[in-house]
Structure 1
């Protein structure tokens, strides 16, 4: 698997992101859908990656800088046809490594609370993410689960 910075407007990535947004809108009310569209993923505070094998798109993920010491995982998605192959874990590990490289003290995320999100929550828990309250601009929402992870490292000023 290769993970590289990518353009969210690339046709196969765009299709995956469109699938992601449609699915999120099926599972949550509009005010509780926090997935970003292509334009939202192209802002300077976000780095977007794809994971591929032999040119085939296996997933994507993004890292948003909330503050110099705090990042947020955005747009983690694997196409339904390519799930259970390790692409999601590979992307998560890549984002964790990048967050540590940037010197972040904390990495957070928002995901859904419905049963359909349990596999994602389990993946995040498996690397140490813990439930937390809303962060950044999020508000309490029964359709959202907020998770955070304190990152190890030398954070001496």
Structure 2
């Protein structure tokens, strides 16, 4: 698997982002969907990666800087044909490693509270994320769960 910074112009990547946004909208009311669209992912504070095997897109993930010590995991999505193969774990491990390299001391995320998000929450737990209160601009929401991980060099 090759994980590389992506410029968000390829049709396969755009389609997976659209699938991600649609999936979030199916599980949550509009005010509780916090996934970034293409414009949000193209902001300078966001680094976006795609994971590939040859010309096949396996998954995506992003890192958003909140401040000089704190960043957020965004847009984690595995292509449907590659679910349960460890793609998300490898992308998340890559994001964690980059966050540490950049000197962040805390990495946080928002994820869904519904049963469909259970595999994602288990992955985050297995990689050391712990449940926390809302961070940044988030507020308490029955459709959201918040997690954070302290980072050490």
TM-score (norm 1): 0.96
Q: Does structure 2 retain, via aligned residues, the 8 Å contact 1:9–1:38?
A: no
Partner Cα separation in structure 2 for residue 17 and residue 47 of structure 1: 14
Q: CA RMSD in A?
A: 0.7
CA offset at residue 10 of structure 1? 1.5
- Asked if 1:144 corresponds to 2:144, the answer is yes
TM-score (norm 2): 0.98
2:22 corresponding residue in structure 1:
22
1:117 corresponding residue in structure 2:
117
Summarize the alignment of residues 42-81 of structure 1 with structure 2, pairs less than 5 Å apart: 42-81=42-81
- Where does structure 2 lack aligned partners over 5 or more consecutive residues? none
Partner Cα separation in structure 2 for residue 9 and residue 24 of structure 1: 21
Partner Cα separation in structure 2 for residue 79 and residue 51 of structure 1: 10
Query: Which of structure 1's runs of 4+ aligned residues deviate more than 4 A?
Result: none
CA offset at residue 53 of structure 1? 0.7
1:36 corresponding residue in structure 2:
36
Q: Does structure 2 retain, via aligned residues, the 8 Å contact 1:7–1:48?
A: yes
Partner Cα separation in structure 2 for residue 70 and residue 98 of structure 1: 13
